[in-house]
Amino acid sequence: MLVIGLTLSACGAQTATQAVSQPPIVPPPVSTEPVVSEPSQNPYAGFATRGPAFFETMPITGKTVWPTKNCDQLGIREMMKAVDFNAAMYIVASYRGKLQLHCSFGYSDQAANKPAVISDTMGIESVSKLITANLILQAVSEGKFRLDTPLTAVVPYYKPSVGSFSKKPTVLDALRHRIGYGSSTEQSRYINNYMPFAKVPYDFKSTFTGNPNSVEGQIWYYNTIPLEYEPGTQQTYSGAGYVILSAALEAAYGKSYMQILQEKFMNKLNVTRIWNDGDTPIIPDRAWRYKDNGEQRTDRNTPAGTGASGLIASPLSILKIVEAFDFYEQGKNSLILDASAFTNYITPYRSELVPISDKWYGHFGVAGIGSISLAASNADGWSVFIGGTTLTSPSQAALINMAESISQISPSADNLWLTVAGKY
């Protein structure tokens, strides 16, 4: 950061024998944004090789509702050892609307010895898809479109190359990861969304004059790729489908994705700490990633990736939304979902969602550059968010096991939500 200022000086009256001068007046910097310098050595180097004893020295902060169980007595340290979760980890959980715990483990900034705390923010990766799916279900309940509506009818510039296939992909096909694109499309989507300033293989650059990393640019690119199977007939995990669903929301409401999320979910739940990584150069309290030393990268995601993988949030913000899905009551008391969402989508198609579990409803997210998350609620009334920054990639099953172990503790009538104001 370059700070340009004026140096002012004042000189007093001079005599024949002495010149009196005052020291220069240096004005304060014009910006108070922190300067993030690149460490001379990766502070996380060797985490994975330091052995089990290393985990015993890592700080753990937070609070639980149980006077006889603090965060360090919930087995989190042992869980960290088991999956080699070696940077920072956050676990927050509520039971039927009452916050039961918020525990943070490790360092959000190892170079500065800054312990992880619940006010930190982090990328939630594909957990963004869970948010998008439920925004779509709300749009369906409002009559903006139907689950069986072809995406081409909602997004005019989406013109898939269907070839000999008789069906165009629908809203439901995209939600279920059955849109028609195969694994090769997903690989190219990953490259284009996550490396927007690198030399990416856009075959249409010579003819598309807009921003290739915009939602429209991404979808224009998908238009050039033939579908690989009849929509609805196969399942291939699809970020592309959720980029197109993001466009469907924007087209239906005439607003940006983040405006829709703000109005439909965040305002209703008094949630403030969710951002789109591509829209915001500096996101406050962001935990440093393992591999990039916490650099505040504006190229981590692009706006096109918002609904698929681009949201940054505090753990409590996502927990508040997951809690409000009201999974255990099938949406009867939800502030953000109509009960028809469970009848028409969540209940019949839950086996195709992530995580695949008879008991939990939610989503798993992981990024190769060092973040991982799980947001889910179960049929008993527990809602859990587990996330963190890590070199290794614990499996979906490992995080579900963490959630399951928390849900086995007897819930308390006490509620910590009132004690965490401003952190979600």
d(CA 147, CA 160): 18
pLDDT, position 45:
44
pLDDT, position 378:
95
pLDDT, position 24:
55
Using only the alpha carbons of the chain, give its radius of gyration.
Answer: 24
Q: Is residue 292 part of a domain?
A: yes
- Given 227, 253, 279, the domain boundary residue is 253
pLDDT, averaged per 10 consecutive residues of the chain (424 residues), comes to 32 41 48 38 44 74 94 84 75 97 87 86 92 96 97 94 92 96 65 41 57 76 86 91 93 94 97 85 77 44 73 96 96 94 92 80 81 92 91 77 93 96 90
CA atoms lying within 13 Å on the CB side of residue 383 = 21
Specify whether 353 is located in the same domain as 278. Answer: yes
Burial class (CB in 10 A: 0-12, 13-18, 19+), 279: middle
Tokens 């996550």, located at residue: 194
Specify whether 78 is located in the same domain as 140. Answer: no
Specify whether 191 is located in the same domain as 287. Answer: no
Q: Is residue 338 part of a domain?
A: yes
pLDDT, position 54:
67
Specify whether 383 is located in the same domain as 266. Answer: yes
pLDDT, position 12:
37
Q: What is the dihedral of CA 120, 126, 130, 133, to 10 degrees?
A: 140
- Given 253, 280, 298, the domain boundary residue is 253
Integer CA distances (angstroms), 303 to 130, 231, 345, 363, 369, in order: 17, 26, 27, 20, 18
> Which residues, including other chains, have CB under 8 Å from residue 380's CB and lie 6 or more apart?
328, 359, 407
CA geometry: angle 168, 172, 174, nearest 5 deg: 70
To the nearest 10 degrees (0 to 180), the angle between helices 127-141 and 239-253 is 40
pLDDT, position 302:
55
Q: Is residue 119 part of a domain?
A: yes
Q: Tokens for 360? A: 């939990």
Specify whether 156 is located in the same domain as 181. Answer: yes
Full domain range(s) for residue 76: 61-124+257-419
Tally the domains of the chain: 2
Specify whether 111 is located in the same domain as 227. Answer: no
Specify whether 240 is located in the same domain as 291. Answer: no
d(CA 30, CA 204): 42
Q: Is residue 311 part of a domain?
A: yes
Q: Is residue 279 part of a domain?
A: yes
pLDDT, position 79:
78
Specify whether 91 is located in the same domain as 174. Answer: no
Q: Is residue 102 part of a domain?
A: yes
Q: Is residue 202 part of a domain?
A: yes
How long is the chain? 424
pTM of the model: 0.83
pLDDT, position 212:
67
Specify whether 209 is located in the same domain as 322. Answer: no
Q: Is residue 40 part of a domain?
A: no
pLDDT, position 151:
97
Specify whether 246 is located in the same domain as 307. Answer: no
CA atoms lying within 13 Å on the CB side of residue 129 = 27
- Given 231, 253, 275, the domain boundary residue is 253
Specify whether 95 is located in the same domain as 83. Answer: yes
- Three-class HEC string of 248-267: HHHHHHCCCHHHHHHHHHHH
Specify whether 367 is located in the same domain as 232. Answer: no
Give the CATH number of the domain where residue 94 resides: 3.40.710.10
